[in-house]
Amino acid sequence: MFETLVGQTEVKNRLGFYAKAHKAGSIIPPIMLNGAKGLGKTEFAKAFAKEIGKKLLEINCGTIRNAQQFFEQVFMPAIAGNEMIVLFDECHALPKDLVEVFLTAFNSEGAKSKQVSIGDGFATFDFEKQNFLFATTELHKIFDPLKDRMTVVDFETYNSVDLSSIIQKKIDFIEFDNDLIHQVAKTVRGNARSAIKRALEIKAFCEIKNKYRINARDWLEIKTLLGIKPYGLTNLEVQILGVLKSNGPSSLQMLSAVTGMSRSAIQLDAENNLLRSGFMEIDVKRKITNKGLSILKELS
């Protein structure tokens, strides 16, 4: 089960359990897939649907305006009465009136179906035919009563071994000298999506060079051509580390002034990765760590 997917053992075990329970006649509860971007939530949803033999309908919640639109344009024509798994991606963006309906629909306590009132009519959620998955990168934004009705399945950041496996599986026709693939994995930002992007870059290089084996010289050329840095650091992140080294502990406003980037861009696009990787810490002001200093030395 999930043999084509790498890592996420706990996710595989939990989804595998529900798949087996479904085949034995049990109702699958609404499941919340929680994790950072690029960890494979959608891919696991696809594999889960394949395992229980149902079609997957993926819905980006940012496209849902309100409950009426959802039921008129999506639920009644595409979901009602059909066998399928419905994935509500980025579900923290669900409109409030639809959340209210879902509070009723999923307050089922193991029932095989639930009828909810919609305008002048009714809609029936058939939990034997339809299973509902929700995915989010921001679990804290989910309305608590709705979250309480979900079974939350948490995704983990991939380790270097898993990232190496993801890269190799994507380009299994390309060989790497010695432990070179592990060096490649160290330039990935800890998620499956970035590992696949790196694999496709290597594939493109091999197609240009008409070769099927990567050595240290090839990897150095790829890094130079594409500006690849350790741990997948961006130019902005390196610039921030450089400012913290030169100026010492700095405020967010100072970093914004020196880099020319907005405060929100620094917080959302750069700081999260630097903090997660242990290159920076915040104690009132932003400070570079010894690990961050080592990375700057490696880049110099």
Residues of the chain falling short of pLDDT 50: none
Place of tokens 């409030």: 96
Place of tokens 């880099």: 259
Instruction: Report pLDDT for 273.
Output: 83
Instruction: Please state at what angle helix 192-209 crosses helix 216-226, rounded to 10 degrees.
Output: 110
Instruction: Report pLDDT for 230.
Output: 86
Domains of the chain, first to last: 9-154 (3.40.50.300), 160-228 (1.10.8.60), 235-299 (1.10.10.10)
CA dist., res. 110 & res. 214, Å (int): 54
Instruction: Report pLDDT for 269.
Output: 76
Instruction: Report pLDDT for 268.
Output: 77
Instruction: Report pLDDT for 231.
Output: 86
pTM over 0.85: no
CA dist., res. 194 & res. 161, Å (int): 14
**Exposed (0-12), middle (13-18) or buried (19+): which is 193, by Cβ within 10 Å?**
middle
- Closest-CA residue to 70 (of 28, 113, 132, 129): 132
Instruction: Report pLDDT for 139.
Output: 93
Instruction: Say if residues 120 and 128 touch (Cβ distance below 8 Å).
Output: no
